[in-house]
Chain A
């Protein structure tokens, strides 16, 4: 093992940053879940729909009936509290990861990069000893309070954030974003009524400024957070950037999750300072740091790092590049678009309808809302994999309804990044006869810039 790798993985360092991270992550997850439930989204997204867009190969992932989904969210909430409090921490983190990821896998119309981020962080939390200080677990006899951990337990979170930011930045290096200021040129003027900055938003140069600044920010911020000299300034930039996006766009908890997560980059001394401060305010006596120099050393650590975490990160670095395996404009076809930190990257809207014909001359135009929620209709209308999936569902549904050998034709018009709408799907192709796989979807009409 080279010295650098040894240092980044096995060096003994203070547990303090990991503690801050665990507590804040558990906390913000609890808040997010309360918000999610309060908006009625459990029912709206996981109980009300008749049909769910499952991921290819994961169509066995289905929501539970009745109160089942409420129960899942309750368990998820309890486990996030477990992470926050450090109570039954390992069990809690496993359950949180499983329930959260399960819910996200039910329907891809609900896919958000920030949910993907939460799943990844939750997965990493399973393997770190984040309950060895500031936790209720240390009152249980099996857990020993510790002050030090191997460096990898903290560095994996930094690496995760580096990947998120850097790939979000890479994704912005595209001609729409940089040379047309799209989609900000549409989104910012729509916000020109807001106070203070609002009046500026209708100017084209502001959209360009934001686009380029956003790209540089995403590409570099994680590295400025790594360097001690620039760290504080970089963190202030993190706060400003994410608050601005929270103010401008409807992106829920994501900005706050990132603002809190980025604290991991601060030095152990800083974390210890903050924790001492909190301890004094609340007079938490049993949060005294452990004096012993003993290392919390989960014995299988080297094994986990080598066989689990290295593939985990390598995969994450490869996955965003899979889109290059497909021809055509990525934003148009969205082949290999998800799981790549392509965040707020395009303005896309469409109108997609289906016509069913059977071999006895019966014709029916489908009312999508008979089967889908407004959100599902919106997402399906511009994403070919979902269009195909829904077409297959329609084929089956209409066969059951008595259509003889139904053919499913799609008429779809989509506008991308402020251009006029164009034909999206070849209207002469029976989508029911097209296999659902990861091959190039040749039945997507070519995009004309």
Chain B
């Protein structure tokens, strides 16, 4: 048996040795590293009192909420109201002029949708707004059979590819055999008209629901609160970046470009998988979507109000080059998109290379957002909540 005294002595001696070892280790590392320069840390301007990063993040959240999301929903509500009105007139009085008006209102709404589609956040997420509004390619067989049935549950998951903008596009813009017009299909066919109006009403309900939750049910406060001014999962910026990460990849790159171009199907193009297949203005929607990203990064609101942007934040944390590169990359994407045929199916059939080139070009923007930007901002990209260590 040993006394406590020697017990203690042994511990002290061990600690003493460890300290010497530690000291030696540190000195060694310092010597071997001291002459290597320090490129990772660009001389960070000591952010003095003038810069408050938390405040900038909160300003961005406020700007996004007040000048993108709220006016975006307002615009959607107005457009869907106008569409509903036009459709009612058309169904009641099926004339060529009323049909054209309806087609125009649909197009307007579809373009407005591009401004808000990237913000699948909060109520939009819980209500699966994107899937209800814009699931394509639409299932024309299902639409036709729904028209013949009564009490179709339009809000059900099973009907996602038979409702929304793509379904209305089919009904209004369907390509017909020679000698027929879309007008003929609605004359003496009350069910077809009723389905069309039901689709518009379903859109109105969904959009209204989400807009109201944003405006009235405190989601706005939650999103812009000081407690959401971090960058973790659930913070405003965390949500925005995770939302655009998903949207840019799945809906912009894949939905609008990659899938129709056959990138995901062994190189076999699927020209009928384009957005706005029947209206034939897929390029316009694609361009609108890319523009909505440029506006977001530059802080130009849907209501045209300028404000604090993600680019400003990147500047504040001394990574302005990433912001510049994202802008350049997005503008490169835009130029390529603008050079495409207005009708993307035609583009794919005539020269699919340009679509594939755009796909590869879009990948560059994703790298910048997902890797460079999220990394320096300390944002974790994963919609899955979990522990780290």
Contacts and interface: CB of A to CB of B under 8 A. Distances in A.
B267 A347 contact: no
Contacts of A45: 386
B296 to A, nearest CB: 19
B26 interface: yes
A421 B227 CA distance: 30
A44 interface: yes
A364 B317 contact: no
B387 A250 contact: yes
Interface in A219-235: 219-220, 223-224, 226-228
Given A199-B54, A365-B258, 4 more contacts: A186-B377, A193-B230, A202-B51, A250-B386
A350 B369 CA distance: 10
Nearest to A349: B375
B370 interface: yes
12 contacts: A112-B388, A190-B231, A193-B58, A219-B22, A220-B22, A226-B15, A227-B12, A228-B8, A250-B388, A351-B366, A421-B367, A449-B40
A178 B29 contact: yes
A163 to B, nearest CB: 13
Contact of B2 (A7, A374, A419): A7
Nearest to B15: A223
A237 to B, nearest CB: 15
Given A198-B54, A364-B267, A420-B322, A175 B46 contact: no
Query: Considering residues A193, A228, A414, which has the most beta carbons from chain B within 10 angstroms of its beta carbon?
Result: A193
Contacts of B158: none
Contact of B36 (A175, A348, A353): A175
A63 interface: no
Interface residues of B, number: 73
Give the dominant DSSP class at A's interface. Answer: mixed
A347 B381 CA distance: 12
A71 B159 CA distance: 36
A39 B385 CA distance: 9
Interface in A178-204: 178-182, 185-187, 189-194, 198-199, 202-204
Given A198-B54, A364-B267, A349 B41 contact: no
Contact of B381 (A189, A198, A223, A349): A349
B73 to A, nearest CB: 26
Interface size class of A (residues with CB under 8 A): 35 or more
B264 A364 contact: yes
A403 interface: yes
Contacts of B53: 189, 192, 202
A328 B236 CA distance: 38
B375 A114 contact: no
B221 to A, nearest CB: 15
Contacts, number: 184
Contact of A254 (B51, B383, B386, B387): B387
Given A11-B1, A362-B266, A418 B376 contact: yes
B10 A4 contact: yes
Contact of B44 (A204, A226, A365): A204
B209 interface: no
Given A226-B11, A344-B389, A369-B250, A418 B375 contact: yes
A435 to B, nearest CB: 27
A176 interface: yes
Contact of A187 (B319, B322, B378): B378
B46 A204 contact: yes
B233 A250 contact: yes
A251 B388 contact: yes
Interface string A274-289: 0000000000000000
Contact of B375 (A4, A170, A347): A347
A25 B322 CA distance: 46
B229 A362 contact: no
B232 A421 contact: no
A398 to B, nearest CB: 9
A354 to B, nearest CB: 12
